[in-house]
């Protein structure tokens, strides 16, 4: 598609408008990338257990190990 331009002035106005549009879109892309990075960081923080949860998790694992040992011991005694 060919656009007939009346003069260089019109070409300059179009060029300036396109430059401004590119600048605005670049800023929006930057903001969207920052927002996405923040959201990704929040999701990762929610997935990973915090250090304060570790003692309770340790207790849960410890109880489960004792339970499994009791079951194993009971099965060993039953087999004898």
Residue 10 and residue 18 in contact, taking contact as beta carbons nearer than 8 Å = no
pLDDT at 79 over 80: no
Domain residue limits, the chain: 9-48, 51-80
Q: Whole-angstrom Cα distance, residue 50 to residue 45?
A: 8
**What CA–CA distances, in Å, run from 39 to 3, 22, 36?**
44, 26, 5
- DSSP output for 28-60: HHHHHHHHHHHHHHHHHHHHSPPGGGHHHHHHH
HSE (CB half, 13 Å, CA atoms) of 57? Answer: 7
pLDDT digits (tens, 9 = 90+) for 9-20: 888 888 899 999
pLDDT at 49 over 80: no
pLDDT at 40 over 90: no
């Amino acid at each position: 598609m060919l656009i007939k331009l009346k003069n260089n002035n019109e070409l300059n106005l179009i060029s300036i408008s396109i430059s401004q549009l590119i600048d605005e879109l670049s800023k929006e892309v930057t903001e969207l990338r920052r927002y996405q990075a923040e959201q990704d960081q929040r999701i990762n923080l929610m997935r990973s257990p915090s250090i304060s949860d570790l003692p309770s998790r340790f207790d849960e694992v410890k109880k489960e190990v004792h339970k499994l040992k009791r079951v194993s011991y009971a099965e060993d005694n039953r087999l004898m």
